[in-house]
A and B are shown apart, each in its own frame.
Chain A
Amino acid sequence: MNFAIEVKELHKTFVAGWLRKRTKQALRGVNLSVPEGVFWGLLGPNGAGKTTLLSVIANLLIPEQGEVRVLGNDLRKSAGAVRRRINLSSGHANFLWSLTVKENLEYYAMLYGLSGNKRRQRVEDLLALFDLQEFARVRFEELSTGTKQKLSLAKSLVNDPALLLLDEPTVGLDPDVAHRIRDAVQRLHRERGTTILMTTHNMKEAEILCERIAFIKDGRIRAVGKPQDLKEELRLGDTISIAFSGTVQAEALRSLQGTYGVQTSDSLCRILVDDHRKRLPQILDFFMGRQIFIHDLRIQESDLEDVFIAYTK
């Protein structure tokens, strides 16, 4: 398997102050391997080290210790070769304020070595891809937050990167714009097969977009896996709530396969199962076999937010 990113034992400490030095360990031995072509999410609470890790991979920060290989290149030895093939987009986008959308794209296309017709065509394509044509001649300082974010994403594609780093790409956006940004990112991954490493605080966004998730806290990776696997690992499961008439023996319910726990009261029981899709038929059989009448049935799936809370506790 080829890896787009391989990080081994990465340490990064920030030192502030001249006389009274204050230190903050942002990364404490991070290990991470991101295969090529995967949409990877990096989740964690504020100050966990997400942006620091992304910045090290983008060669904007130099770590004290550890090894970073990006697209097969050792970042210490071949930073230039890596920078040619990667790009990044951040939430709260900032670009040259006096340049228009088109000029900003042209400027960054030039920085990545594009010239002549190739550059012009690329800029036009990106304006079209992100519906930015009507803003092409508008200065950056006059754009709305959503349009700035679109420009940030468009800029991140000027060099057609093999690896795209997205740092909270929808932060501060209204739901409609965030949805469109997510669509654009998903399309990009699907159509171009670009490897994407994205940090986000939005668990729904991570669940929709990311094929794999890494949880980071206090500068350490705490868990890595598919969203479903992480839920199973934590035994978070789904909750099936049943309102019924009659008597239910909780012990008998607990003995059903895939059941993590049961809470019962007079006419209501809550059953925590690993996966409601697998376990619902046997639970219904259980009730029907005992001729217990079901009034109401509700299913509550656990989501990444529960995983996030579990890992950040």
Chain B
Amino acid sequence: MAKTRAFVFKNWIMTKRNVFTLFEILFWPLVAFLSVGLLTEFAALQPEMKAFILIGVIAMSAVQVCQLDVAYALLYDVWSKAIKHGFAAPVGIRHLLFGSLIVGILRGGSVFVILVIASYALFGFNFTLPGALPIALFVLGLFLSAAMVGVFVCILVLVFGNRAEVAAWSLTSLMLLLCGVYYPVSVLPVWVRGLAEIIPLTYFLEYFRLFYGFPPIFSHVLLKGYVMVIAYLVIEIFAMKAALHRAKRTGLLLKLSE
């Protein structure tokens, strides 16, 4: 428990102390949200189309912020060149994942709540329409997706070093393109749709939009989303262990501390 708390403690203090993390919660998500929201107004979209797009923006912003925290669990140590001290301690990948995810959920949850309120106040969009359980299932799916992306960034950093830190910001942009955030995946070329089908976020977005009158393209979206995201997380935990072992074998872990 104390080891998991260590990662909560670290991420929380780093969040409090650094202005850029405040920007991540307030500035960028609100800018993106307002830009897209105003565009829907300008385009005079029907309420259901507006809902389609705003759901995507809100979900993506929450995922982006939450996954950053999971990636930061490793990146803060890499940037401080203190990574060897962390891995010299008797901690496991699970401590890193759960600890950082708790802070990620707090930060991503804050973004989510802020944007839900803003969407109602500014654009008259009622996010609570589907009810408590669908919202809870949707939000849980988002945070699990975020954890999946964050761990993937950690794996890349342990394999490729500092060069891979750019993945912390670029992976979610790729998801933005593939998962049908601003448009349904049906508009994607068939071969790209294949990629969308292997990303759990696609299914969670499809599930939630169902309550706003958009029938899903795929079947059993919630089940597929959860099975996929949990399977990926389990695979990633083993992959991260292997990546850490490799970093110890190649000397990358020490190089990241120099």
B-contacting residues of A (Cβ < 8 Å)?
Answer: 14-15, 51, 55, 58-62, 80, 83-84, 86-88, 90, 94-99, 103, 106-108, 110-115, 119, 139-140, 155
Is A94 within 8 A of B257, CB to CB?
yes
Is B80 within 8 A of A61, CB to CB?
no
B residues 234-258 near A (Cβ < 8 Å) are 245, 248-251, 253-254, 257
Q: How far is the CA of A191 from the CA of B257 in the complex (A)?
A: 31
Q: How far is the CA of A95 from the CA of B82 in the complex (A)?
A: 5
Chain B interface residue count: which class? 20 to 34
Q: How far is the CA of A15 from the CA of B255 in the complex (A)?
A: 13
On chain B, the residues within 8 Å of A97 by CB distance are: 79-80
- Nearest CB of chain A from residue B247's CB, rounded to whole Å: 9
Is A112 within 8 A of B89, CB to CB?
yes
Is B89 within 8 A of A94, CB to CB?
no
Is A83 within 8 A of B254, CB to CB?
no
Is B77 among interface residues, defined by CB-CB distance under 8 A?
yes
Nearest residue in B to A14 (C-beta to C-beta)? B251
B residues 1-27 near A (Cβ < 8 Å) are 1-3, 5-6, 9-10, 13-14, 17-18
Is B189 among interface residues, defined by CB-CB distance under 8 A?
no
Q: How far is the CA of A98 from the CA of B19 in the complex (A)?
A: 12
Prevailing SS type, chain B contact patch: helix
- Nearest CB of chain A from residue B144's CB, rounded to whole Å: 25
Q: How far is the CA of A98 from the CA of B9 in the complex (A)?
A: 12
Which residue of A55, A86, A110, A114 contacts B9 across the interface (Cβ within 8 Å)?
A110
**A94 touching B81 in the complex, CB below 8 Å, given contacts A61-B248, A62-B245, A110-B6:** yes
Is B84 within 8 A of A60, CB to CB?
yes
Is B90 among interface residues, defined by CB-CB distance under 8 A?
yes
On chain B, the residues within 8 Å of A95 by CB distance are: 80, 82, 85
- Nearest CB of chain B from residue A164's CB, rounded to whole Å: 12
Is A98 within 8 A of B13, CB to CB?
yes
Nearest residue in B to A85 (C-beta to C-beta)? B90
Which residue of A59, A99, A107, A119 contacts B88 across the interface (Cβ within 8 Å)?
A59
On chain B, the residues within 8 Å of A112 by CB distance are: 89-90
Q: How far is the CA of A106 from the CA of B2 in the complex (A)?
A: 10
Nearest residue in A to B18 (C-beta to C-beta)? A98
Is B90 within 8 A of A107, CB to CB?
no
**A110 touching B254 in the complex, CB below 8 Å, given contacts A58-B88, A97-B80:** no
**A98 touching B14 in the complex, CB below 8 Å, given contacts A61-B248, A62-B249, A110-B2:** yes
**A94 touching B251 in the complex, CB below 8 Å, given contacts A83-B89, A88-B88:** no
Q: How far is the CA of A139 from the CA of B17 in the complex (A)?
A: 10
On chain B, the residues within 8 Å of A55 by CB distance are: 84, 254
On chain A, the residues within 8 Å of B211 by CB distance are: none
